[in-house]
């Protein structure tokens, strides 16, 4: 989605798969200690980044040469035009850096949240059933099938309980721990003076854990965002999975739409279960994700909610 929709690249599947493997090496080592020795994580990350940028440069050049037949502007188009509007055409290196940042923002965080969503639906079957009830009440799910033409943006936005589920996943399992800001003018916080020009980091995870508006902060409870409670409405900056202020995440609406579409698909057309005895441990770096992945078995359902038998057991297993 990031490569083809956000960036408008037309990369063949084989090349895309190769770049994805390299990208995973880059992500796994992006927070390595800066020790430049053979076989170190830092060296592997640098090599992966160089390989990625070579592939991206080729894709960018092809994109710049083939601009005909497009009826929309993607994120990379907007980035390029923004530079021109400000009288500074972006260099190829700046385009490669911006492209890599867009891919990281679109992929790593959404993959993290998607996995957290699946894990919570596995742990809380009542939430999954309540979600199915909402889909039926809105005419999206009927006799075990998604009704044709029902997955419109207005229909998806009308699913209030689904919105609560996604909000709660992002509250408990915010993909990234925080963000950075530059101090524009000297200010005081709890008796400490923070000088102009300093870089400061705010913690999303600690904010969610300590915000007084949330009750039972460790409990997965989508209803906290329901109309009767609306815990996120009591004050500013208590709930900020996408950051806050003028530099809030540009892709937040796309990310939430992706997660909602995934939840609808899972609730409507499949049964799924944990493929291991216990749930995996969670690590927080570089984004929230299960150690060694979350192993799940998915079973397709027909219109009568009966399992569709697959040809091989291999088709049942998936790691997310």
Residues within the annotated binding site for heme?
Answer: 249
CB-based contacts of 29-34 (< 8 A; 24+ apart in sequence): 30/104, 30/286, 31/285, 31/286
Nearest to 305 by CA among 264, 274, 267: 267
Alpha-carbon torsion angle 88, 90, 91, 96, nearest 10: 160
CB 92 within 8 A of CB 86: no
Q: Which residues are annotated as a binding site?
A: 249
| Residue 290 bridge partners (DSSP) | 282
Q: For the chain, give the DSSP string.
A: -IIIIIS-----HHHHHHHHHHHHHHHHTTT--S---TT-HHHHHHHHHHHHHHHHHHHHHHHHH--TT--S--HHHHHHHHHHHTT-PPPHHHHHHHHHHHHHHHHHHHHHHHHHHHHHHHH-HHHHHHHHHHHHHTTSEETTEEPTT---HHHHHT-HHHHHHHHHHHHHT-SS-EEEEE-SS-EEETTEEE-TT-EEEEEHHHHHHH-TT-SSTTS--GGGGSTTT-GGGSSSSS--TT--GGGS-TTHHHHHHHHHHHHHHHHHHEEEEESSSSPPPEE-SSSSEETT--EEEEEEB-TTSPBPPPSSGGGTEEE-
Distance, in Å, from the CA atom of 265 to the CA atom of 261, rounded to the nearest integer, reads 6
């Amino acid at each position: 989605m990031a490569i083809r929709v956000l960036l408008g690249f037309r990369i063949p599947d084989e090349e895309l798969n190769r770049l994805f493997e390299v990208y995973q090496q880059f992500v796994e080592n992006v927070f390595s200690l800066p020790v430049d020795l053979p076989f170190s994580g830092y060296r592997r990350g640098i090599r992966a980044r160089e390989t990625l940028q070579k592939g991206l440069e080729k894709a960018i050049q092809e994109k710049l040469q083939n601009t005909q037949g497009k009826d929309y502007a993607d994120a990379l188009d907007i980035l390029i035009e923004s530079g021109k509007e400000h009288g500074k055409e972006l260099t190829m290196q700046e385009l490669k850096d911006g492209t890599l940042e867009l891919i990281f923002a679109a992929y790593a965080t959404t993959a993290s949240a998607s996995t957290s969503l699946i894990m919570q639906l596995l742990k809380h079957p009542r939430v999954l059933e309540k979600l199915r009830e909402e889909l039926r009440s809105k005419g999206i799910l009927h006799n075990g099938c998604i009704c044709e033409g029902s997955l419109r943006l207005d229909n998806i936005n009308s699913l209030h309980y689904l919105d609560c589920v996604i909000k709660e996943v992002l509250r408990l399992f915010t993909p990234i721990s925080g963000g950075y800001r530059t101090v524009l003018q000297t200010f005081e916080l709890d008796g400490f003076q923070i000088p102009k020009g300093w870089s400061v980091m705010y913690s999303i995870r600690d904010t969610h854990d300590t915000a007084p508006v949330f009750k039972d902060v460790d409990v997965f409870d989508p209803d906290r965002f329901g109309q009767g409670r609306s815990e996120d409405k009591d004050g500013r900056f208590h709930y900020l999975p996408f950051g806050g202020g003028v530099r809030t995440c540009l892709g937040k609406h796309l990310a939430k739409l992706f997660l909602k579409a995934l939840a609808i698909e899972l609730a409507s057309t499949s049964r799924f279960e944990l493929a291991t005895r216990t749930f995996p441990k969670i690590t927080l770096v570089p984004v929230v994700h299960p150690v060694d992945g979350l192993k799940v078995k998915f079973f397709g359902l027909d219109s009568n909610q009966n399992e569709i038998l697959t040809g091989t057991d291999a088709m049942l297993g998936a790691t997310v």
